């Protein structure tokens, strides 16, 4: 690992590490300007660089020069579930659920397997989670800046910039199954790519986030569905504030951006101010973002999803589900006391003859009632997103009251709220210039993140996905062949 002392002034340092200036709530992030520069090639070197020679709070710039895989231990061996907890076997854990996954076999053997699974959780976390230190810039150096099986923990700190990285989502070796969560049961995996918790002044820019080679269909099959080994991409929680997410590509992932992680966390009311702009979302099923409490500005983003995708199929209440007790797919989720302004986004949702698209993909209410859109398009046409949001909120109120009438319980305060399109005004916090020509927003798919493309307009591999140009084959909804997972071998 190499490092040298840098003495950049503010202007020079920002120019050196960024292709664009910071726009939005994260505008005051400066990262590690004026600090030491590190070039790292291994996970150990990366963690050592964050320690900054015994001064972890001091400014630092860390260049990622080579691929880093968090499952590679310091001795060169590969982390596995069985290696961490001898005697644990994930297939045995699955087999301990009977009645199509709804009942746990309360046997001595199964209870022992569950005990071993719980023992493995902190052991994997110690390896997978890496605590980012304050006053840090982490920047990818060329195409080798690949991060796998690592969860960046931006926790209880301030002033972090993360740029130019290819990040494959980490896989949980010890996820657990909750058969009574939702109508169909739910898998609960740990580990995001980036978790921002009680932290401020953070900028995430020009990164590519994906499940990579370990897509959902590579996981084991259980109870008629694939085991979920990935959690979210970026979680922004627990009074985090002043954050910008810009110029990133999110592709082939179920859950992307969570802002606020509990309806009961009322201490988030004056926090969670986030700007999300110039990002591309392709075949991500939900949380683009999903918001509680925060004031969130979402502008000039490109969205694309399909009803027929064989792995990341996007299905909503209107075109598939017929119950409120489900987890539908959606682009923007408005939750308790969220305040969301959407501007000049391009939303694209493609169906086939068997499952048509539906406009409720645009906005889904989890009890949220403050939302407004300016100038966005749905499948290339101007659209009233406010009406979609209002309809979703009113349906949520009706379903909640129906549920209380049947099962009892306390009526939440939002049931008596009135939907409003009077949102906060971003210019009270920062200046910005939105692209009002949606052709420019659509072209983000050819440009974001910038290091993925050579900017040659005639490159056939970089052509924009146009709704009108897509032809759907009759067999596109066919099931994938079962793939044996190597995660637990």
**What is the span of the domain harbouring residue 241?**
2-446
* Residue 231 CB neighbours (<10 A): 24
Mean pLDDT on 271-280: 98
> Does 116 fall in a domain?
yes
Structural domains in the chain (count):
1
Say if residues 163 and 138 touch (Cβ distance below 8 Å). Answer: yes
> Does 349 fall in a domain?
yes
Among 18-32, 110-124, 268-282, 293-307, which stretch is predicted with the lowest mean pLDDT? 18-32
Residue of higher predicted confidence among 167 and 142 = 167
> Does 477 fall in a domain?
no
Among all chains, which residue has been given the structure tokens 């068997």?
Answer: 354
> Does 474 fall in a domain?
no
> In this model, does residue 136 exceed pLDDT 70?
yes
What is the rounded CA–CA span in Å between residue 346 and residue 22?
22
DSSP reduced 3-state for 471: coil
Say if residues 201 and 160 touch (Cβ distance below 8 Å). Answer: yes
Residues with a known catalytic role: 287
**The dihedral sign for the CA sequence 45, 234, 342, 29:** negative
> In this model, does residue 104 exceed pLDDT 80?
yes
Mean pLDDT on 104-109: 96
Say if residues 302 and 441 touch (Cβ distance below 8 Å). Answer: yes
Residue 143, pLDDT score = 85
Question: pLDDT tier at 76 (50, 70, 90 boundaries)?
Answer: very high
For the record, the structure tokens of 402 come out as 């129906």
Quote the mean pLDDT of the chain.
89
> Does 242 fall in a domain?
yes
Mean pLDDT on 167-182: 94
pLDDT digits (tens, 9 = 90+) for 385-430: 999 999 999 999 999 999 999 999 999 999 999 999 999 999 999 9
> Does 454 fall in a domain?
no
* Residue 127 CB neighbours (<10 A): 20
Question: pLDDT tier at 142 (50, 70, 90 boundaries)?
Answer: confident
- The domain spanning residue 391 has which CATH number? 2.160.20.10
Angle ∠(372,254,77) on CA atoms, nearest 5: 140
Residue 477, pLDDT score = 38
378 - beta bridge partners?
347, 381
DSSP reduced 3-state for 341: strand
> Does 111 fall in a domain?
yes
> In this model, does residue 466 exceed pLDDT 80?
no
Say if residues 151 and 194 touch (Cβ distance below 8 Å). Answer: yes
Mean pLDDT on 329-357: 97
The fraction of the chain above a pLDDT of 70, given in percent, is 88
pLDDT digits (tens, 9 = 90+) for 197-223: 999 999 999 999 999 989 999 999 999
Residue 222: phi and psi, rounded to 5, are -150, 130
> Does 484 fall in a domain?
no
What is the rounded CA–CA span in Å between residue 284 and residue 119?
32
Question: pLDDT tier at 184 (50, 70, 90 boundaries)?
Answer: confident
Question: pLDDT tier at 324 (50, 70, 90 boundaries)?
Answer: low
For the record, the structure tokens of 451 come out as 């290091």
Mean pLDDT on 252-269: 96
């Amino acid at each position: 690992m190499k490092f040298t002392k840098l003495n950049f002034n503010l202007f020079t340092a920002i120019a050196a590490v960024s292709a664009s200036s910071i726009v939005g709530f994260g505008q005051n992030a400066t990262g590690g300007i004026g600090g030491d520069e590190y070039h790292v090639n291994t996970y150990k070197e990366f963690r050592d660089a964050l320690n900054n020679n015994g001064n972890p709070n001091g400014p630092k710039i860390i260049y990622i020069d080579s691929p880093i895989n968090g499952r590679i231990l310091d001795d060169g061996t590969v982390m596995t579930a069985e290696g961490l907890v001898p005697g644990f076997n994930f297939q045995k854990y699955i087999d301990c659920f009977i009645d199509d996954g709804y009942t746990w076999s309360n046997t001595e053997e199964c209870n022992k397997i569950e005990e071993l699974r719980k023992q493995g959780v902190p052991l994997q976390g110690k390896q997978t989670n890496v605590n980012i230190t304050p006053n840090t810039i982490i920047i990818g150096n060329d195409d080798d800046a690949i991060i796998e099986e690592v969860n960046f923990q931006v926790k209880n700190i301030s002033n972090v910039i993360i740029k130019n990285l290819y990040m494959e989502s980490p896989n949980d070796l010890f996820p657990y199954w909750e058969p009574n969560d939702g109508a169909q049961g739910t898998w609960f995996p740990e580990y995001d790519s980036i978790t921002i918790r009680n932290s401020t002044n953070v900028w995430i820019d020009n990164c590519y986030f994906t499940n990579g080679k370990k897509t959902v269909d590579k996981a084991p099959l259980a109870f008629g569905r694939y085991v979920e080994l990935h959690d979210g991409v970026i979680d922004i929680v627990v009074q985090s504030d002043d954050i910008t997410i810009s110029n990133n590509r999110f592709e082939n992932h179920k859950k992307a951006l969570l802002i606020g992680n509990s309806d009961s966390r009322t201490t988030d009311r004056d926090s969670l101010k986030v700007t999300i702009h110039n990002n591309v979302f392709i075949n991500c099923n939900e949380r683009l973002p999903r918001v509680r409490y925060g004031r969130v500005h979402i502008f000039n983003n490109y969205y694309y999803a399909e009803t027929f995708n064989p792995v990341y199929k996007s299905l909503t209440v209107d075109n598939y589900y017929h119950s409120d007790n489900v987890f539908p797919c959606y682009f923007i989720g408005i939750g308790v006391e969220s305040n969301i302004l959407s501007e000049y986004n391009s939303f694209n949702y493609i169906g086939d003859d068997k499952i048509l698209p539906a406009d409720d993909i645009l906005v889904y209410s989890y009890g949220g009632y403050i939302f407004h859109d300016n100038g966005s398009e749905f499948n290339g046409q101007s659209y009233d997103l406010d009406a979609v949001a209002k309809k979703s909120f009113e349906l949520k109120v009706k379903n909640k009251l129906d549920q209380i009438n049947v099962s009892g319980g306390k009526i939440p305060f939002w049931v008596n709220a009135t939907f409003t399109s009077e949102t906060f005004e971003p210019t009270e916090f920062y200046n910005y210039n939105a692209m009002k020509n949606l052709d420019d927003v659509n072209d983000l798919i050819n440009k974001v993140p910038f290091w993925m493309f050579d900017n040659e307009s005639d490159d056939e591999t970089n052509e924009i996905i146009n709704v009108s140009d897509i032809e759907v084959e009759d067999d596109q909804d066919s099931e994938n062949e079962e793939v044996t997972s190597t995660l637990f071998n």
